Homo-oligomer: A and B are copies of this chain.
């Protein structure tokens, strides 16, 4: 039997059926990344961990080739807007699709499908009597943790945030998305905080006091997630990981986003994830 996937957030409810055009209200640099905002007139408020499939309405196919398919992007923050919901996304330009999103201008329109996927759950849903949450983010993977931290804060869940970046150009979201809260940083080049991996910080934290009864929430590069998973497994700490895999559709149609399960089969990450418990996957996939 499959371990039951985490449920779609009740708050989010079903996504509007189909794609809809949403206007870009802002796009600014954030470290080496970009943060852009869309005005979603139709959509429900998304839950932390959920994502959208995005494609620009015009010029999606630069150079006659790619991008062709929409791109999966986690929602990093959200809030009420004049006529709907504001959606903030943190993106790193790593290829034709994210490059195109990085260069969005105010007023451009973006095809939006979502919110998609499931969401992180609260510590007490994961483990009765959990002491609180430890958020571990790496690189662009800090995005979904921003909204998660704020929601936990609003619900008085004690939260500690550990974020790691490779170097200054591979960092972002700090002032924009985590500006108001206490964050412990690691960087591989030592430009900020601990010189080394964010998992060093997690290891130290899990070794101390009551951290063993916290729930760990993590998103980041596969190697980092794998380290988080094995650290938590070793200390029997519950963890929820937001994974990535190649996605063509985001709504269960293509079966492209397969992630190996421990029992042999595959889950569709777009509907059974992107958030999984550490014990739900055979290994953290390489996107």
Interface residues of A (CB under 8 A from B): 58-65, 68
Contacts and interface: CB of A to CB of B under 8 A. Distances in A.
Contacts of A65: 61
A19 to B, nearest CB: 14
A63 B60 CA distance: 6
Q: Which A-B residue pairs are the 7 nearest by beta carbons?
A: A61-B64, A59-B59, A61-B61, A64-B68, A59-B62, A60-B64, A58-B62
Taking the full assembly, how many copies of this chain does it contain? 2
A60 B59 CA distance: 8
Contacts of A61: 61-65
A interface secondary structure, majority:
loop
A14 to B, nearest CB: 28
A68 B63 CA distance: 9
Contacts of A68: 64
A76 B150 CA distance: 60
A63 B57 CA distance: 8
A68 B65 CA distance: 9
Contacts of A60: 63-64
A269 B62 CA distance: 30
Contacts of A64: 60-61, 68
Given A58-B62, A58-B63, A64-B68, 7 more contacts: A58-B59, A59-B59, A59-B62, A60-B63, A60-B64, A61-B61, A61-B65
Nearest to A63: B61
A228 to B, nearest CB: 37
A61 B63 CA distance: 6
A59 B64 CA distance: 8
A60 B63 CA distance: 6
13 contacts: A58-B59, A58-B62, A58-B63, A59-B59, A59-B62, A60-B63, A60-B64, A61-B61, A61-B62, A61-B63, A61-B64, A61-B65, A64-B68
A239 to B, nearest CB: 39
A214 to B, nearest CB: 46
A61, A62, A64, A68, most chain B CB atoms within 10 A: A64
A234 B48 CA distance: 79
A57 to B, nearest CB: 9
A62 B65 CA distance: 10
A64 B62 CA distance: 8
A63 B56 CA distance: 9
Contacts of A63: 58, 60-61
